[in-house]
Amino acid sequence: MKKTLLAIGTLCLVGSPVLAGPNANGSLILAWADGVVQCFDGGAGVEDYCGATGIQNCTDALVETTGADVIVLNVIAAFSPFSNPRLAGVAFGWSYDEEEVFLRDYGSCGDFELPNNDWPASGSGTAVTWSVAQMGQLTDVYWLAAYNYYGNPQLLALEPHPSQGAVFADDDVPSNLDPIGWLGAFGFDTTGSLPCPPDENIPGACCYLDCSCEVLPRADCTGDWLGEGTSCDPNPCSCSPPGACCFFETQECVFVTPDECDAIGGVFLGEIPCDPNPCLPIPVLDQSWGEVKGHYRNDE
């Protein structure tokens, strides 16, 4: 456990962000636990409000309120229903107007926390980790009790950690780091932001190398998936026009796009036809330099 905490606690130093890990395309949202009243004890923070929202789906989250009452908010990691997250760590920060919005209490929902020295100030950040990977589509990361003192429109927005960025870490050692795809914001007397991760079962435009397009769920797309609800009419797939692709050893020419030509090991000659065949060798006449000069003299 100590080794895992050390690896994840220094996310930006040992993580590997090269390949997408199991926590890719996830969101971090702020949700209001409507009806939950915080029992304030002067700052001891003995109450645990993790899971206070009780939501089962990201889209159920409440992200705005009105008035000056103290409310409980949960920071929640949200993933697609068709994903398989293995969440062992989260690094994030937040921003808000400290002259308007006040945080009365706060706490981590993980097993270990590594906050900045000025946390929970605006612009600061923290890292939260678990000794056992969290595998649900919704995982409570943090909770806070806050209020909007003057009633002016204000946002409390999740942001990247000032030094580690906004990342999810899995339970490998070193951890695979996936950038958090979307960061939410809670609105006090204004509209909040609820960026739920895309539902990968909703069809969208799938683009192939030959510029063809097909509407498919993300899991079924073997090309470039453009996102849920995107259409193939008009065709959104951008690719280079086809042209002559040569195989000089066999003198064969096929009419394909540059990407297709590269994939099959040919040499793309540009947007020219295969008829006449541009892959045939150029005829060479075996002559001496004197004979060549003689041709030019005769032409004069």
pLDDT band at 291 (very low <50, low <70, confident <90, very high): low
Looking from the CA of 135 toward its CB, the CA atoms found within 13 Å total 4
The yes-or-no verdict on residue 278 having pLDDT over 90 is: yes
- Spatial separation of the C-alpha atoms in residues 255 and 252, rounded to whole Å: 10
pLDDT band at 19 (very low <50, low <70, confident <90, very high): low
Domain boundaries, the chain: 2-188, 199-238, 240-300
Residues 137, 168, 194: CA angle, nearest 5 degrees: 55
> Which residues are 102's β-sheet partners?
147
CATH of 2-188, one of 3.40.47.10, 3.40.50.150, 2.60.40.680, 3.40.50.300: 2.60.40.680
The yes-or-no verdict on residue 87 having pLDDT over 60 is: yes
Whether the ω angle into residue 162 lies within 30 degrees of 0, i.e. cis, is no
DSSP 3-state of 289:
helix
User: What's the pLDDT tens digit per position in 172-209?
Assistant: 999 999 999 999 999 999 999 999 998 767 888 998 87
User: What's the pLDDT tens digit per position in 221-260?
Assistant: 888 888 878 899 999 987 778 899 999 989 999 998 888 8
Residues 291, 294, 295: CA angle, nearest 5 degrees: 95
User: For position 202, what pLDDT does the model report?
Assistant: 80
User: For position 295, what pLDDT does the model report?
Assistant: 62
Q: DSSP state, 278? A: T
pLDDT band at 214 (very low <50, low <70, confident <90, very high): very high
Nearest to 245 by CA among 227, 225, 262: 262
pLDDT band at 40 (very low <50, low <70, confident <90, very high): low
The model carries a pTM of: 0.67
Nearest to 76 by CA among 22, 28, 33: 28
Q: DSSP state, 242? A: P
The yes-or-no verdict on residue 137 having pLDDT over 60 is: yes
